[in-house]
Structure 1
Amino acid sequence: MAKKPPQEPFGCTIAIAVLLGVAYALPYLFTFTVYAFPLFVAFLLVFSNWRGPLTPEFIDESQVGAALHDLETARRSLLEDIADLRARGTREGVRYLKLEDRFEMRSSRGQELNEALANARSALADVATRIEMAQHPQHRRDHAWRLSMRSWRRGKAFRLAFIAALFSFAAFAALLKGYVYEGADLLVWNALPNLIGRHVEVATVFGWVLGLATFLAIRRSNRLAAERENGASERHADVLDDIGPQSGDGAYQSDKEIDDPYLILNVSPQATIPEIKAAYRLAIVKCHPDTVADRSKSIREAAQAEAQRVNAAYDAIRNEQGFN
């Protein structure tokens, strides 16, 4: 039986066609690069921020109110999303278990809805944490200040990218002009040959590359800084009411008062044993591992520390009053 001649792989044909298309499009791409470079630089300049960063002392009440309003809007939106997920599952015939507050897991659709619910609830918990921080007397300016810092960092990224793009373009254009660049013409159509020489064409490529590289590098640095700030703000967010009880004049109470087991459980020394037990259950459920299982690592660590604090307070009261 005669063997069939080997056939050329279809993938190689596609790869060759793509390479030819790219090679054909390169002159037009360079043309776009040259003529769009002024627009690129102007775009960076418009969004640049040339002011210095704000300090928390310069955050006024209007900024605090605007930040809190945005958080409340986000919270309402997430609540609507959760309600919409429940209604959508009901319309699709997926049974909702009210006692367990989730959909049945027997169908793949139920698993998808439960995953979406978990994500929405996790986002809602994060927003609730930020609202609690924004409403706390000592930290109410912090959230608005972090927002202003993020805005300032975005403006800084545009500013440094603008400087990098413009400086690299000017430097390479001068360098290539000084060496009398005689390379190939990158433009398909040059409307101003006396103004847009070959050295200018090549310099715009360097301006694009260094400008974009600078912008992306600073954006990544800004993202890491925002994550560090979020982690720092979350460490005590779940336990602010218990850790930082305040007196009538708004000042923090002394360390001795904060270590008072009755204040930790938020009960009176004259409270009955059932009232103390109920207060303990209410306090420990807020920082139980199951309650914060889907939260960030910093929140889980803060909850663990608060659980130890609540348990120690409850043990001290039990030993003092002699009940189990």
Structure 2
Amino acid sequence: MVLSPITGKANVLLEEKKSTKEIIAGYKQAFNIDTSDYFNTTPFIEVYRCLDTDYRFYYPFHIAGNGSFYDQLQKQPWYYSEWKWEYQIALETFRSAGRLLEIGCGNGSFLKKMQTNAIHCIGLELSEDAISAGKNQGLDIRKELIEQHAEKNEETYDYVCAFQLLEHISAVHSLLEASLKVLKKGGLILVAVPNNDALFFKYKRNKINHLDHLYQATRLLNLPPHHMGLWNRKSLESLPKVYPLRLENIFTEPMNEHRKLLNQSILTDRMGIAGKVLNKTGATVLLESFFKEDFKYADTIMAIYTKL
């Protein structure tokens, strides 16, 4: 029986199956990473929707990437961004003095910016390379799971944040429970995840085309072993139904030039012959007028909650 990773209930719906053979080939060709060990007894993975929260997740759960997988991905120069859109909003949100915990902090780019006399910052990370890079900058980064950290740090922090982390985790309930355990009542928790309502996640092709690297690299990284969950606005809005939280605000990243070009490519592909004509005539910019909703937002959505 498949249970929702958030509610623990069997109120889930099987939506689709994906061939692991194609996923393995995609990771090998796009990133030169061998993921076959994750799928050696699993010819297909399944995508379920939690009907109580609209959270979509991959099954089986054991196919999530390990430290070695992420160390290989980090060799890609674009994998860790020194500054992200969501960092700026968090910087403006966490203004008062207090203690801050970032779960999955990478090399500590956000912590470095936040660390002041008024805010004491601690980061949790599992990648040895990232921890080493952060410590070389004088940051307090610890190799611990949030569940381990919560055992000795109950109601310790005024702020907890997780940027681009929840989508990698199969045991979502365990992580969120531990995050709330370390947070003081009235404290803020900030979560940023990929926005699966974005066009380039919603639009599907029958098969993975490894030659179309710009689009397919994004699609591949939204699959196991990299991503284990698929979040959107509705699933973020549903968390207060399950946890002692009050939703304060949701922000969606504005469209940027890179995603704008990607969306033009996706739409012209979907339009078939008409799309080919637009490409040949250089008229793809007209798509923004006809598909306004698809050009409003980029790839990140972020929610801020207060612990009750």
Name the TM-score class by shorter chain. Answer: under 0.3
Larger Rg: 1
TM-score by length of 1: 0.21
User: More helix per residue: 1 or 2?
Assistant: 1
TM-score by length of 2: 0.22
